[in-house]
Amino acid sequence: MKQYVLDTSALISGLFNLADSKFYIPDSVVGEIQHGNLPMFMESISSSLNIMSPSRANVEAVKRKANSTGDLQKLSPTDIDVIALALETGSAVLSDDFAIQNVCSSLGIEFVPATIRPISDQVRWAGRCSGCGKNYSSTSGTCVICGHSIRRVRKKSDKIKK
């Protein structure tokens, strides 16, 4: 039986079959779903979902990897929990978030898009000053040379092997 960790966008899409797979969601995803009809939807499917918190060790491992790829500042704490729970359970991730997909690829975690095409390249990001062009390892902040903002730029890209 295939196992998936759902992020909030995948859960909202409803484009998954509860009958043929096992699904996990971090408890932080439940916390994000508080508006409209989503609480009723969650209630109706909650018996088919395994709601868990990832271990602190896996959360820290994901943060280290996301920092090395340059995606850490693009990931919310919930996004990090999704990836950490996939790492912990050996599940694939169901998400349309490109930063989540990029970190999953870097960690060797399978990912499946919920509604859009998946990423085809694993990307490493770096920082570059928007004024003088100085390169930085951080993807945000202020340039120590000229004071302009540091922007996230693609440093390296590798095709994802299928």
DSSP 35: S
Distance (Å) of CA 65 to CA 62, 121, 125: 5, 16, 12
Q: What is the mean pLDDT of residues 108-130?
A: 80
**What pLDDT is stored for residue 91 in this prediction?**
95
| Helices 56-69, 98-107: inter-axial angle, 10-degree rounding | 100
The pLDDT tens digits of the residues spanning 128-161 come to 888 888 888 887 888 888 888 888 887 766 666 6
User: Which has more confidence, 16 or 161?
Assistant: 16
User: Which has more confidence, 21 or 54?
Assistant: 54
The pLDDT tens digits of the residues spanning 78-105 come to 999 999 999 999 999 999 888 999 999 9
For residues 75 and 6, give the distance between their C-alpha atoms in angstroms, rounded to a whole number. 15
How many Cβ atoms from other residues are within 10 Å of residue 156's Cβ?
12
Choose among 133, 134, 125, 11: nearest CA to 69.
Answer: 125
Type and span of the H or E element at 81: helix 77-89
User: Which has more confidence, 54 or 98?
Assistant: 54
Sheet holding 49-52, edge to edge: 49-52, 21-26, 2-6, 92-94, 111-112
Sheet holding 121-129, edge to edge: 135-136, 121-129, 150-159
**What pLDDT is stored for residue 27 in this prediction?**
86
- Take residue 141 and report the two structure tokens written for it: 């902040």
**What pLDDT is stored for residue 136 in this prediction?**
87
Highest mean pLDDT among 23-32, 47-56, 72-81: 72-81
CA dihedral of residues 84, 86, 87, 89 (deg, nearest 10) = 120
114: pLDDT strictly greater than 80: no
**What pLDDT is stored for residue 46 in this prediction?**
64
